[in-house]
């Protein structure tokens, strides 16, 4: 009787030990939200990282704008916030912004109105509402009112555009606001009188006319050379210093040759790790 009891106990222990590896090997899920501009890159990076980790790390990604990602990271709703701007006044404190890639913003028009270049003064006049008709813009083929498109206030690309190409000015309230890069792109594609601004992935796509700025084309080559000014970083944002699987993913995105190859398809790799910025 006692022997049988011991045998049962031993089997129970073996069964318990057999369960431990299965629990230890359970996949980790990293939740992310934020910038629509960085989403195409984040999607590519996370898909590759999932394969690199043999399915042991999964990702749950949503968009909504850089500010949304920053706020949700601060509130602990997501592991990582995706941002297309650095920290600014009004952001929650205690956040750490890790740069993972460089991107740039282009002024864009409809291909039916292939404006090749605008000066900084012209960009300011158009987007602040001082110039309202294409007849006032040299090189424009469009006629009639200028239809200005902008992004909503949560967009990091809006911050980058205003700080780098608009001289710190604000886009006029008469502009039609779009909630994402994709919606902005579609609006400009459909409207011959449109002008807007997009991050490079969307600006350099078919059906969009990227406009030069002060005689410098909006291109990867000119960003790399330092001659084009409309640049910023994509950041991964965590509440406090990144740890665990979030830290591992961010470090991989910053340093691995595999991530670099993905980044350089449409964006600019860091070259070396850029120090994180705290809010």
For residue 235, the cross-strand partners are: 83, 99
Is residue 58 in some structural domain?
yes
Q: 214 with 174, same domain? A: yes
Q: 71 with 112, same domain? A: no
Instruction: Provide φ and ψ at 123, rounded to 5°.
Output: -60, -45
The size of the chain, in residues, is 279
DSSP summary character for residue 26? P
Tokens 């605008």 belong to: 118
CB of 191 within 8 A of CB of 112?
A: no
CB of 125 within 8 A of CB of 73?
A: no
Q: Report d(CA 103, CA 2) in Å as an integer.
A: 72
What the block records as the tokens of 166 is: 């608009």
pLDDT exceeds 60 at position 177: yes
225, 243, 268 - which closes a domain: 225
**pLDDT tens readout for residues 64-89:** 999 999 999 999 999 999 999 999 99
DSSP codes of every residue in 65-112: -HHHHHHHHHTTSSSEEEESS---TTSPTTEEEEEEEEEEEEEEE-TT
Output the average pLDDT for the chain. Answer: 91
Count the domains in the chain: 2
CATH number at residue 273: 3.40.190.10
Rounded to an integer, the average pLDDT of 245-260 is: 97
Q: 81 with 53, same domain? A: yes
Q: Report d(CA 136, CA 146) in Å as an integer.
A: 10
Instruction: Provide φ and ψ at 25, rounded to 5°.
Output: -95, 5
Q: 168 with 239, same domain? A: no
**pLDDT tens readout for residues 25-48:** 568 999 999 999 999 999 999 999
Q: 114 with 211, same domain? A: yes
Is residue 1 in some structural domain?
no
pTM of the predicted model over 0.85: yes
**pLDDT tens readout for residues 198-231:** 999 999 999 999 999 999 999 999 999 999 999 9
Rounded to an integer, the average pLDDT of 145-162 is: 97
Q: 118 with 164, same domain? A: yes
Q: 162 with 116, same domain? A: yes
pLDDT exceeds 90 at position 178: yes
Q: 113 with 179, same domain? A: yes
Q: 203 with 213, same domain? A: yes
Sequence-distant (≥ 6) Cβ neighbours of residue 78 within 8 angstroms: 31, 32, 33, 69, 72
Is residue 3 in some structural domain?
no
Q: 116 with 128, same domain? A: yes
CB of 134 within 8 A of CB of 142?
A: yes
Q: 201 with 241, same domain? A: no
Task: Give 8 or 222, the one with higher predicted confidence.
Answer: 222
Residue numbers of the domain that contains 40: 8-102+234-278
Is residue 164 in some structural domain?
yes
CB of 169 within 8 A of CB of 178?
A: no
Q: Report d(CA 41, CA 44) in Å as an integer.
A: 5
Is residue 2 in some structural domain?
no
What the block records as the tokens of 8 is: 């049962």
Is residue 240 in some structural domain?
yes
What the block records as the tokens of 206 is: 């078919």
**pLDDT tens readout for residues 45-57:** 999 999 999 999 9
Quick one: pLDDT band at residue 254, thresholds 50, 70, 90? very high
């Amino acid at each position: 009787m006692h022997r049988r009891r011991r045998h049962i106990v031993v089997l129970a222990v073996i069964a318990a030990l057999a369960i431990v590896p299965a629990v230890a090997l359970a996949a980790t899920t990293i939740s992310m939200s934020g910038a629509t501009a960085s989403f195409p890159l984040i999607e590519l990076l996370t898909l590759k990282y999932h394969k690199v980790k043999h399915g042991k790390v999964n990702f749950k990604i949503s968009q909504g704008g850089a500010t949304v990602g920053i706020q949700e990271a601060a509130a602990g709703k997501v592991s990582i916030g995706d941002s297309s701007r650095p920290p600014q006044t009004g952001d929650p404190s205690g956040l750490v912004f890790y740069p993972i890639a460089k991107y740039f913003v282009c002024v864009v028009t409809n291909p039916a109105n292939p404006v090749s270049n605008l000066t900084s003064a012209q960009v300011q006049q158009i987007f602040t509402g001082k110039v309202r008709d294409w007849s006032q813009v040299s090189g424009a083929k469009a006629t009639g009112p200028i239809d200005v498109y902008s992004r909503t206030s949560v967009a990091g690309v809006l911050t980058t555009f205003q700080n780098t190409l608009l001289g710190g000015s604000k886009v006029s309230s008469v502009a039609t606001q779009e909630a994402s890069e994709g919606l902005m792109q579609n609006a400009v594609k459909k409207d011959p009188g449109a002008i807007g601004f997009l991050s490079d992935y969307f600006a350099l796509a078919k059906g969009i006319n990227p406009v030069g700025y002060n005689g410098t084309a909006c291109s990867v080559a000119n960003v790399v050379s330092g001659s084009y000014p409309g640049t910023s970083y994509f950041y991964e944002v965590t509440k406090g210093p990144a740890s665990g699987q979030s830290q591992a993913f961010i470090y991989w995105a910053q340093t691995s040759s595999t991530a670099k190859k993905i980044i350089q398809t449409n964006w600019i790799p860091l070259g070396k790790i850029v120090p994180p910025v705290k809010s």
